[in-house]
Chain A
Amino acid sequence: MNKKRPVNLDIGTIKLPITSYVSIMHRVSGVILFVVVGYFLSVLDNSLASPEGFASVKEMLSSPFCQLLVWVALAALTYHLVAGIRHLIMDCGVGESLEGGRLGAKLVLVIAAILIVIAAGWVFL
């Protein structure tokens, strides 16, 4: 392959549309979740290993720092899930047009935001 082929598409100079941000956030939330899974596995391990471990997990979940951590994890999970469902809907041929794609991206942001606020109520209250 000729390595000196001209590169015409420099993504750094292009103003990104809303669909790009929704897509990039889907990737970022996915990478975050891969790390978070390790934390949730250790919590599951502790909670099942012994009654003392279960009690320590319950106690830990009442500390504000851990609640914040769990909420951030749930937010990433919620966003990733909603954006993923949009992908599956688009695979069925729905919302594939330019306008449909933009509308879908906006719906993902709105629905995810609502669910993330509900998750905050569940974790912190």
Chain B
Amino acid sequence: MITTVTSFGRSGLYDWLLQRITAVVVAAYVLFMVSYLFSADDLQYEQWVALHSGLCMRIFSLLAVISMAIHAWIGIWAVLTDYVTERMMGAKATSIRISLQLLVIAAALVYVLWAIDILWGLSAAESVIR
């Protein structure tokens, strides 16, 4: 069964390393966001927009979403190539698996583009609070 063609890095070693690097980025972001929301008592809109308007925060958020997208591509590739196989599902497995992988890749791409729109489309909101 040829599966590497839909893997992210085309090599197991590269995927292995990327999975760990992206995991650390996402973990750092999640821990930051959870501690921010936990410590912010009665968060207000102005404060929330101010946080996400800073360039550092926009870059941190986008890096987290890009990392999540790569992490999910690699992770779900591993899941699909383990379970959606010809041995488990018969001859149709390959076309089902490729379709599901394309769906995941498309969703991951949409998440990244959506995040860019959310984070860099803030100018309208910024003008409201000024």
Question: Chain A: residues with CB nearer than 8 A to chain B?
Answer: 7, 27, 30-31, 33-34, 37-38, 41, 44-45, 47-51, 54-55, 77, 81, 84-85, 87-88, 91, 122
What CA separation (Å) do A50 and B23 show in the bound complex? Answer: 31
The chain A residue sitting closest to B51, CB to CB, is A48
Q: Is B68 engaged at the interface, CB distance under 8 Å to the other chain?
A: yes
Chain B residues proximal to chain A, CB less than 8 Å: 20, 23-24, 27, 30, 38, 45, 48-49, 52, 65, 68, 72, 75-76, 78-79, 87, 104, 107, 111, 114-115, 118, 122, 125, 128-129
Looking at chain B's contact residues, is the secondary structure mostly helix, strand, loop, or mixed?
helix
CA distance A31 to B108 in the complex (A): 12
Residue of B nearest to A85 (CB): B27
Min CB distance A25 to B, Å, is 12
Q: Which of A48, A51, A88 contacts B118 (CB 8 A)?
A: A48
Which residues of B are found within 8 Å of A41, using beta-carbon distances? 65, 111, 114-115, 118
A-B contact pairs, 13 of them (CB 8 A): A27-B75, A31-B76, A34-B72, A34-B75, A34-B104, A41-B118, A47-B48, A48-B122, A51-B129, A54-B45, A81-B27, A85-B27, A91-B20
Closest to A12 in B: B88
Instruction: Find chain B residues with CB under 8 A from A55 CB.
Output: 45
User: Are the CB atoms of B107 and A38 closer together than 8 Å?
Assistant: yes
List, in ascending order, chain B residues with CB within 8 A of A85's CB: 27
Q: Are A51 and B128 in contact (CB under 8 A)?
A: yes
Besides A7-B87, A84-B23, 19 other A-B contacts (C-beta < 8 A): A27-B79, A30-B75, A30-B76, A34-B75, A34-B104, A38-B111, A41-B114, A45-B114, A45-B118, A47-B45, A48-B48, A48-B49, A48-B52, A49-B125, A50-B125, A51-B129, A54-B48, A77-B30, A88-B20
Q: Given A34-B104, A122-B38, decide whether A50 and B128 contact each other with a Cβ distance below 8 A.
A: yes
Question: How far is it, in angstroms, between the C-alpha of A87 and the C-alpha of B75 when the chains are bound?
Answer: 13
Q: Does the CB pair B23–A30 fall under 8 Å?
A: no
The minimal Cβ–Cβ distance linking B58 to chain A, given in whole angstroms, is 11
